[in-house]
Chains A and B, each alone.
Chain A
Amino acid sequence: MPRPTLRTLSVLTVLAFCVYLPLVFFYAPIEAEEGFVQKIFYLHVPLAIVTLCGFVLGGLFAIAHLRTRDSVWDLRSYVAIHMSLIFGVGVLITGSIWAHASWGHWWVWSEPTLVSFLIVMLLYATYQPLRFAIEDPERQARYASVFAIVAGAFVPMNFLAVRLSSSYLHPRVLGSTSNLPAPMGYTFLVSLLAMALLFATLCMYELAAKRTRILLKSRSRILGYQ
């Protein structure tokens, strides 16, 4: 039986999606240049923002873990990063689809956000191999936290570097998100909210599942089943 917070979150997420999807398909206007495919913007960009926040959150939880030495924070950090990795794959896929639809290429180097994303994903893809390469559980948690902090600080630095390096001759494929006309703006905000809720809900589910497993293990050990 999921805890009340989990249940509320799930309901809210479902509701948000019930609003979000129709808005995208029926309310948001079809963009002049790119056509219907442009609507992937309402999937890709919220995914990207939520993913990046997830990575940074992972770093913040890691700081809390190192300060309090409470393994709960390590669990939260792990789940945040893990979920962001999954969402991140979605970002790369949707970004690629959008690039292909707009520019005819499955990958473009001229879009700095997408490129930065690739580098960030390459970095965080090492998070789990790092964890599994350390046997001592306490050390594993501590080292993972150090990594999460360094990587979390890396995310903005990397975006800055890539943004600086991208050539200004090529117009940005995916366009800027500022100066959106009102209907697009509202739809975007709702999309962002829906994605954020989805992320939070999935994280809570994963946290609950992991906590339950840990609890089960310790109980069975006490009862002597180990």
Chain B
Amino acid sequence: MSPSHQIVDEGEPHVILPGAAHVPTGTASASSALVPVKTSRTIAAILRKELLVELRTLESVPGMSLFAVSTFVVFHFALNRTTVSGDLAAGVLWVTLLFAAMLGVNRLFVADAEQGGFDGLLLAPVDRTALLIAKALTLGAYLVMLELVAVPAFALLLSPPLGTGLGGLVAVLALADIGLAAIGTLIAALAVQTRARDLLGPLLALPLLVPVVIGAARASSPLLAATAAGASAHAAWPATRWLLLLGLYDLVFGLIAYAVFDFLLED
């Protein structure tokens, strides 16, 4: 019996028929009879599945958004103020966004862990970092949807003086979201396989996200500062140093997440 001979010949390549809506292709290696699926296709497939499940269950985004709105109300009573500005406004906004993000992080991999989603992916001829990218994009999408609700709610309930600072705020939100998504996904994958997963996730993520909070809050604070005249004499664009800090954080931890994620999946 010489298995090696037979193996090379056995099985036909899984060539994809043209006309199918999804046409994965890949470079066929000489000795492999199977064409691996392109990473971008895999990411799209996982992303599609994620959003489909979220649409059916509505587990993450509505919960996160509602939590944020409730938290603003709590802050109103806790701080005993009807308006906030400057550092206080930035603080309330970012603490709320951070904790709402934790809710999303907690739920990110639960369906996969409980319903065999990891195995299903690990058996497929795909690049496993596609899971990281897809999940990070998913979490990022959830955060954007959260902010679409939370920021208007914040403006409504606690009346920070925003005005021309909105563009700058959006830039800060974008950069912070990237960092939140990268670390959030990594920690979610780490925590979901442990016993106290709901507790361990936020416990690990909060210290790791302190630089994001520093950068985001410091950047937002001048955008939300009140002025004596009340008009938009405050800053319209955040200080470069904070944007650079957020950018550096995103880069460093994005790369690290990419490098170590595989080790969380395999056994």
Residues of A within 8 A of B (CB): 66, 119-120, 122-123, 126, 129-130, 133-135, 138-139, 142-143, 145-147, 149-151, 153-154, 157-158, 160-162, 164-165
Contact = CB atoms under 8 A, between A and B. Distances in A.
A119 B215 CA distance: 15
Interface string B170-198: 00000000000000001000100111110
B200 A157 contact: no
B168 interface: no
Given A150-B186, A157-B252, 10 more contacts: A130-B190, A130-B200, A130-B204, A133-B194, A133-B196, A134-B195, A143-B194, A150-B208, A150-B257, A153-B253
A218 to B, nearest CB: 23
Contacts of B260: 66, 146, 149-150
Given A123-B207, A130-B194, A146 B264 contact: yes
B24 interface: no
A28 to B, nearest CB: 35
B245 interface: yes
Contacts of A154: 207-208
A165 B194 CA distance: 34
Nearest to A153: B256
A165 B217 CA distance: 10
B241 interface: yes
A165 B214 contact: yes
Interface in B245-267: 245, 248-249, 252-253, 256-257, 260, 263-264, 267
Contact of B203 (A129, A135, A149, A151): A129
Contacts of B190: 130, 143, 146-147
A165 B239 CA distance: 12
B263 A146 contact: yes
Interface of A is mostly: helix
Nearest to A127: B204
Interface in B76-108: none
Contacts of A150: 186, 208, 253, 256-257, 260
B267 A145 contact: no
Given A126-B203, A146-B190, A161-B211, A66 B263 contact: yes
A164 B257 CA distance: 24
Contacts of B218: 164-165
Contacts of A133: 194-197, 200
Nearest 3 Cβ contacts at the A-B interface: A161-B211, A123-B207, A133-B194
Q: Which of B210, B245, B252, B260 has the most CB of A within 10 A?
A: B210
B98 to A, nearest CB: 14
A157 B248 contact: yes
A147 B260 CA distance: 9
B200 A126 contact: yes
A162 B214 contact: yes
A146 B208 CA distance: 14
A151 B245 CA distance: 18
B246 to A, nearest CB: 9
Contacts of B196: 129, 133
Given A129-B203, A158-B210, A134 B193 contact: yes
Nearest to A162: B214
B265 to A, nearest CB: 10
Contact of B249 (A130, A149, A157): A157
Given A139-B267, A146-B260, A126 B204 contact: yes
B208 A123 contact: yes
A203 to B, nearest CB: 24
